[in-house]
Structures are given as structure tokens and as C-alpha cells.
Amino acid sequence: MILEPPTELTHAFVEKHPSILPPAHVFTVASGKGGVGKTNVVANLAAALTMMKKRVMVLDGDLGLANVDLFLGVHPKSTLADFFAGRKGLADIITPSHLGIMLLPAGSGIQALTALTDEQKIAFLTELDALTHELDFVLVDTGAGISDTVTYFATGAHEIIIVVTPEPSSLTDAYALVKVLASSYGEKRFWILANNVGGEREGRRVYETLSRTALHFLNTSLDFLGWIPKDPELARAVSRCQLVVTIAQNSPSGQAFGIVAEKLLQIAGDRARVKGNLQFFLARLLAAVREGK
Ligand SMILES: Nc1ncnc2c1ncn2[C@@H]1O[C@H](COP(=O)(O)OP(=O)(O)OP(=O)(O)O)[C@@H](O)[C@H]1O
Ligand SMILES: [Mg+2]
């Protein structure tokens, strides 16, 4: 499902017409294990990037238990369920939320994306592509587990972020997810974000444990995105349906999200310099549709 590598001609064309490079950089956040902090990561990174004057959209890809809307302080009237039922266009359901972050909310009663017809998928991707041209970043939240929907959003993104905590079950589930994405879908790049850790040392230890196993058994090297400390301020923000980066920017987790957001800017900047990297969301997902994945 990976696109053909760009030819010299493509490079030359892209250099002359830089506008065809999609501006939005798509990151999908997944974990395997549930409850490790994915939705907090998505919402706080979206807020941190918005505070850095970037245009951000959050796509709630947790089709079963959608809840990013709570973190972003909105009660969407329409959701992806309305889109897939043919009642609304994507532009009608996109909801401006906290700090101006655009939200594509999910709702209950949505089939797994892969159970949708090709026509539905293509309509979704075409409309999504049109929306993302006005944006700098799209962050996709996903549900727990290794469902087809999780792999669909992960393989469609430019970058995959795996959130992992020091708990052994989080490490084993993260490894299982990396294994499926690497061996069944040919994914090669994974950014590991250690969450709920005691400090940088523990964050790096979590990364190194996973990284060693992936290298040994999958021949896949993992990248370290960063770490977010276990922080009562974050838990307090969650209990008030608020974001720690907004209400306690200088708290340990607020600062850590700022550092990770800077890293996302750097990753996106590096990609923009690689001319001809056309593996963007729409193209990759359309390729997947054509192959019937
Ligand atoms: N760094 C942290 N410090 C303190 N508490 C945290 C931290 N990260 C997450 N939590 C707590 O963990 C809980 C789960 O977080 P969150 O909902 O973001 O996880 P999730 O991975 O999205 O879960 P699900 O798989 O169910 O979608 C929250 O109640 C939050 O308070
Ligand atoms: Mg969640």
C-alpha cells in the first residue's frame, strides 16, 4: 500500500510547485493498551501547537468510545456518524473548539471504517483532504486495541506515535501493535512517547526496553519522541474537563507537552524539506482502498 517512490520528474515538479505538498502533517496516536493517556496526549499537543500559532485539527478516530470533545470543551451537534449515514458533509460536522482547534468528532454507532464501502471511504478521504489543506497539523486519536480502525488511521498518517507507560502490559501491548504495523503493513517509523513516568530516566528506560525488543525480534528501530511525567495537575485538569497545557502550562506535564510539541514542529519541518515525499494521508489511504485493505 506504499506509493511508488517519487521519480526525478516528481522531485523537479514539486520543487517548482511547492503548493502541491500538503501543508498538514498527520500524526496518529495509538497504544495498544487502553487508558494509557492517548486522548490526553492528542488534546494537549493540539493545544500546545495551537498556542504556537499552528492550525490544528483533531480527528477523533476512537469510533467506539469517542471522547476528545469532552477534553476540547465542546458538545458537537453532528459527528462522523452523520457523515457516514449520508446526512452531512465533513465540512458541516467540523466543530471549532477550545483555542480554535478544529475537531472532527466521532459519535456512537459508527461501523469500523473498514466495514464501510469503498464509495464511503473515498468520499471521506476526498473531503478530509480538502479540509486539511488549510491546516498545519492533524492529530488523530485512536481507541484501545489493534482493531482495523486503529491500523487504518496509523497507516494513513505521516507519523505514528505510540504512547506507552512503564506498566508491563502497556509495553507488551505497544510491542504487539508495532509488530502488526511493521510486519503486516510495512510501517518503518514509530515515535515512542513515554507517559506517566517518574522522570526522564524512566521515560528513556521505557523507550529502550521497547526499542531493544523491536530491534531484536522485528528488526525495526524505534525513535524516542519524549516523555510526559505522571502529574497530579494533569489528573486534576482531566477531572475538570480542562487541559493541563491551558490551565497549568508551567506544571511538569504542561512543560513536557510543550517540549514534545516543539519536536513535532521539527519532525514536520524535516519532512517539508524532503522534496517528493508524497505519502500523505489521502494518497496512502486511497492506495489502501484500492488494495481492498
Ligand atoms: N501523565 C499523566 N499523569 C497523570 N495522570 C495521567 C497521565 N496521563 C494519563 N493520565 C490519566 O489516565 C487516564 C486515562 O487517560 P486517557 O483517557 O487520555 O487515556 P486513553 O489512552 O485515551 O484511554 P482509552 O484507551 O480508554 O481511550 C486519565 O484519567 C488521566 O487522568
Ligand atoms: Mg482515549
Atom of ligand 1 nearest to the CA of 34: 25
Question: Which residues have CB under 8 Å from 212's CB, separation 6+?
Answer: none
Question: Looking at the whole model, is its pTM more than 0.85?
Answer: yes
The answer to whether 99 touches 71, Cβ cutoff 8 Å, is no
Give the residue with greater pLDDT, 199 vs 82. 199
Q: Which of 45, 68, 238, 259 to mutate to test the pocket of ligand 1 (most atoms within 8 A of CB)?
A: 238
Q: What is the mean pLDDT of residues 197-211?
A: 98
Q: Is 28 in the pocket of ligand 1 (CB under 6 A)?
A: no
130-156 pLDDT, tens digit each: 888 789 999 999 999 998 889 988 988
Q: Which pLDDT band, with edges at 50, 70 and 90, does 251 fall under?
A: very high
Q: Which of 28, 29, 33, 36 to mutate to test the pocket of ligand 1 (most atoms within 8 A of CB)?
A: 36
Positive or negative torsion for Cα 136, 68, 241, 227: negative
Q: Which pLDDT band, with edges at 50, 70 and 90, does 250 fall under?
A: very high
Q: Is 31 in the pocket of ligand 1 (CB under 6 A)?
A: yes
63-116 pLDDT, tens digit each: 888 889 999 999 999 998 888 888 899 999 999 999 999 999 997 666 666 667
Cβ neighbours around 273 below 10 Å, total: 7
**Exposed, middle or buried, 89 (CB in 10 Å: 0-12/13-18/19+)?**
middle
Write down the pLDDT at residue 8: 46
Atom of ligand 1 nearest to the CA of 65: 27
Task: Using the mean position of ligand 1's atoms as its centre, give its distance from the Cα of residue 33 in Å.
Answer: 11
The answer to whether 271 touches 191, Cβ cutoff 8 Å, is no
**Exposed, middle or buried, 218 (CB in 10 Å: 0-12/13-18/19+)?**
middle
Q: Which pLDDT band, with edges at 50, 70 and 90, does 50 fall under?
A: very high
Task: Using the mean position of ligand 1's atoms as its centre, give its distance from the Cα of residue 222 in Å.
Answer: 23
Q: Is 238 in the pocket of ligand 1 (CB under 6 A)?
A: yes
Whether residue 184 is predicted with pLDDT greater than 70 in this model: the reply is yes
Whole-angstrom CA distances from 292 to 63, 68, 74 are 20, 29, 35
Q: Which of 29, 33, 40 to mutate to test the pocket of ligand 1 (most atoms within 8 A of CB)?
A: 40
Q: What is the mean pLDDT of residues 199-206?
A: 98
Q: Which pLDDT band, with edges at 50, 70 and 90, does 21 fall under?
A: very low
What is the CATH superfamily name and number for domain 24-290? P-loop containing nucleotide triphosphate hydrolases (3.40.50.300)
The alpha helices in the chain, defined as continuous H runs, are 8-16, 38-51, 68-71, 80-84, 90-93, 118-132, 148-156, 168-183, 200-218, 232-239, 244-247, 252-273, 281-290
Residue 6's nearest CA partner among 282, 279, 283 is: 279
The two beta strands, 95-96 and 102-104, are antiparallel
Amino acid at 58: V
96-110 pLDDT, tens digit each: 999 999 999 997 666
For 185, what's the count of Cα atoms within 13 Å in the CB-facing half-sphere? 26
Write down the pLDDT at residue 28: 96
CA 63 to chain centroid, in Å, comes to 14
